[in-house]
Amino acid sequence: MEVCTVIGFPMGMNTKETKVYEAINAVENGATEIDMVINIAALKNKDYDYIKEEIEEIRDAIDGKVLKVIIETCLLTKEEIIKMTEICNETFVNFIKTSTGFSLNGAKVEDIELINNHKNEILEIKASGGIRDIDTLEAMIKAGATRIGTSSGVAIMHEECHCEHCKEEK
């Protein structure tokens, strides 16, 4: 069973040292995947070295566990999304993730396509936030997402299910 937790929630404003501690503590307590929120302010200030160092320190601290980098696409320009995709490529993380689900809005197909057009063959995309139906889910996968984050998973599965229970629910 995989166990995931988020560090640096919600806006990534914690120090690098705090995020590293959070990540190590989470792994020591059973987490097998870490979702880290980048420091949005550092990105807006074009402090790319800070962001890259932060990601690398967390990646190295979690000893090969899955690392997903949450970039909060709804707060970023296209250029910033591309830059974060490049940084994720360079730091060899497992996933770039669109959203915490607690900001202005979640994943958009055009953001997934933009990331997909700039990622390397190693980096995977997790579309997260605002995915509430099967059509949106399928559009995200078609655009390049390899993992979906949604709080509507049960409802989405019921949309496609034709069992007696689901027919009653509809």
Instruction: Please report where in the chains the tokens 């501690």 appear, as a residue.
Output: 21
Beta bridge partners of 125: 96
- Amino acid 162: pLDDT: 66
pLDDT in tens, 118-150: 999 999 999 999 899 999 999 999 999 999 998
Residue 70's alpha-carbon distances to 22, 109, 143, 156, 167, in angstroms, are 15, 16, 18, 23, 37
Which is nearest to 102 in space by CA: 3, 4, 6, 2? 6
Residues 36-92 have pLDDT tens digits of: 999 999 999 999 999 999 999 999 999 999 999 999 999 999 999 999 999 999 999
Contact (CB, 8 A) for 150 and 112: no
For the annotated catalytic residues, the residue numbers are 35, 97, 126
pLDDT of residue 169: 58
Q: Per CATH, which fold does 4-169 belong to?
A: TIM Barrel (3.20.20)
Helix (H) or strand (E) holding 86: helix 78-91
| All structural domains of the chain with their residue ranges | 4-169
